[in-house]
Amino acid sequence: MTELIGHFIGGDSFKGDGSTSPIFNPATGRRSADLLHATPADVNVAVMAAHQAFPGWAATTPLRRARVLNRFLGILQDRTDELAAAITNEHGKILSDAKGEIQRGVEVVEFATAAPQLLKSEYTESVGTGVDSFGLRQPLGIVAGITPFNFPAMVPMWMFPVAIACGNCFILKPSERTPTAALLLARYLKEAGLPDGVFNVVNGNKTAVDALLNHPHVSAVSFVGSTPIARYIYETAARNGKRAQALGGAKNHMVIMPDADLDQAVDALMGAAYGSAGERCMAISVAVPVGEKTADALAERLAPKVQALKIGPGTDPDSEMGPLVTLQHRDRVQNYIDAGVDEGAKLLVDGRGLKLQGYDDGFFIGGSLFDNVTPDMKIYCPSSNALRQFAA
């Protein structure tokens, strides 16, 4: 029987009665679970759980909050393998990439454990005749985090440890493609002694997002994802009087000068372009060599490295790149490669049509490399409309 993944509200599992969507293991292409999508009523249950927990947590001293986070830190370090396996099974990235993202999240938890020092206020005497000045740091209330599929542990941990350390309650809405990491984090926090309702997870799609953006008890929203959605999140949250931060997508360039160490540049490009199957906003997707001689030498060194990439399931320790997260994403990338060929770019390494024995239904595509790409091509600027909107 297929596992049914729900939510985490008020310190325990919560099912609700929303619709479901399938979750797949990208390496096998097989359906691994069904995900329950939160209805507005389900989101309201989470918000009210946080609303009820807030006064007690806000009144908890920073020292006691930091102790909970310190215990959570220890649990994270002990359960890294469990969390990394969950990430690999739903995202597809290789285990070393999954462990790397967990470590980046751990660093933020470590920072948040310094809350007693960081939350100290200021006091200034005699700023005017008989006037002293002081500041108070007070929690906002309920903070929501809306996070992407590509870093299901790291990006949430950019958000909730600091929010919780400051005395806020938190509601996490992870990507519907990779929900399990968020639920594991919720379990670890409960085990660390976090009071029920301080941290909640609601799974779902735009319905859940809109319910959070429009709920009067949600004071602030943090988002990481695509640029068009970032714009929507920011505008909607601001319209409702909420504090908002929204980080959009990126298309990063590496400029290679004629005097560069090309072997070092190639190594950097391989990790930056093909790590996590390129599914990250900090991936370097465009190399800009200065001069034809530099370009020729770079292509000569880079193409064999891309061709030799070991593609396989993320659980295989020999794999250097895993599958893409969904079949639709794999097909989209393949369509971009088709477009690049049609528009006249030179395809040096073609990753299309890759089939792995035993993983024939997996969402795999091989490493691919284009040369002679111009700025007007679709593969250079696939989100041109979004970029034009952002620039405006």
Q: Which of 15, 14, 13, 33 is nearest to 23 (CA)?
A: 33
Query: 31: which strand partners?
Result: 24
Query: Biggest alpha carbon distance in the chain?
Result: 81
Strand 12-14 with 7-9, pairing: antiparallel
Sheet strands side by side (includes 218-224): 12-14, 7-9, 199-201, 169-173, 142-146, 218-224, 243-247
Strand 169-173 with 199-201, pairing: parallel
Amino acid in position 6:
G
Neighbours of 174 (CB within 10 A): 25
Give the CATH class of 3-120+137-247.
Answer: alpha beta
* Length of the chain, in residues: 392
Q: Which of 99, 105, 101 is nearest to 80 (CA)?
A: 99
pLDDT of 318 higher than 90: yes
Contact (CB, 8 A) for 323 and 363: yes
- Please state, in angstroms and rounded to a whole number, the distance separating the CA atoms of residues 316 and 27: 11
pLDDT in tens, 217-235: 999 999 999 999 999 999 9
Amino acid in position 184:
L
Q: Per-residue confidence at 392, pLDDT binned at 50, 70, 90?
A: very low
Q: Which of 18, 37, 44, 17 is nearest to 212 (CA)?
A: 44
pLDDT of 107 higher than 90: yes
pLDDT of 25 higher than 70: yes
Contacts 24+ apart (CB under 8 A), 300-308: 301/262, 301/263, 301/266, 302/266, 302/269, 302/270, 302/369, 303/348, 303/349, 303/369, 305/266, 305/270, 306/270, 306/274, 306/348, 306/349, 306/367, 306/368, 306/369, 307/349, 307/367
User: Which residue, chain included where needed, has tokens 């976090």?
Assistant: 194
Catalytic residue numbers read 281
Least confident of 115-129, 175-189, 320-334: 115-129
Q: Which of 327, 325, 343 is nearest to 379 (CA)?
A: 343
Residue 282 DSSP symbol? T
* Better-scored residue on pLDDT, 12 or 1: 12
pLDDT of 56 higher than 60: yes
Q: Per-residue confidence at 135, pLDDT binned at 50, 70, 90?
A: confident
pLDDT of 385 higher than 60: no
Q: Give the pLDDT mean for 170-175.
A: 98
Q: What pLDDT, on the 0 to 100 scale, is given for residue 263?
A: 94
Distance of alpha carbon 77 from its chain centroid, rounded?
A: 20
pLDDT in tens, 345-377: 999 999 999 989 999 999 999 999 999 999 999
pLDDT in tens, 252-302: 899 999 999 999 999 999 999 998 888 988 889 899 999 999 999 999 999
- Domain boundary assignment for the chain: 3-120+137-247, 252-391
- Please state, in angstroms and rounded to a whole number, the distance separating the CA atoms of residues 156 and 151: 8
Residue 122 DSSP symbol? -
Q: What pLDDT, on the 0 to 100 scale, is given for residue 41?
A: 97
Q: Give the pLDDT mean for 190-207.
A: 98
Least confident of 111-120, 140-149, 158-167, 176-185: 111-120
Enter the CATH code of domain 252-391: 3.40.309.10
Q: Give the pLDDT mean for 147-156.
A: 97
Quote the strand ranges of 202-318, DSSP E.
218-224, 243-247, 252-256, 284-289
Contact (CB, 8 A) for 192 and 164: no
Average pLDDT over the chain reads 93
In percent, the amount of the chain with pLDDT more than 90 equals 86
Residues 6 or more apart whose CB falls under 8 angstroms from that of 333 comprise: 324, 365
3-120+137-247 and 252-391 in the same fold: no
Residues 6 or more apart whose CB falls under 8 angstroms from that of 276 comprise: 91, 93, 97, 150, 283
Q: Per-residue confidence at 387, pLDDT binned at 50, 70, 90?
A: very low
Q: What pLDDT, on the 0 to 100 scale, is given for residue 391?
A: 28
User: Which residue, chain included where needed, has tokens 């909640």?
Assistant: 200
- pTM given for the model: 0.92
pLDDT of 389 higher than 90: no
Distances (CA, A) of 68 to 23, 160, 363, 385: 32, 13, 40, 45
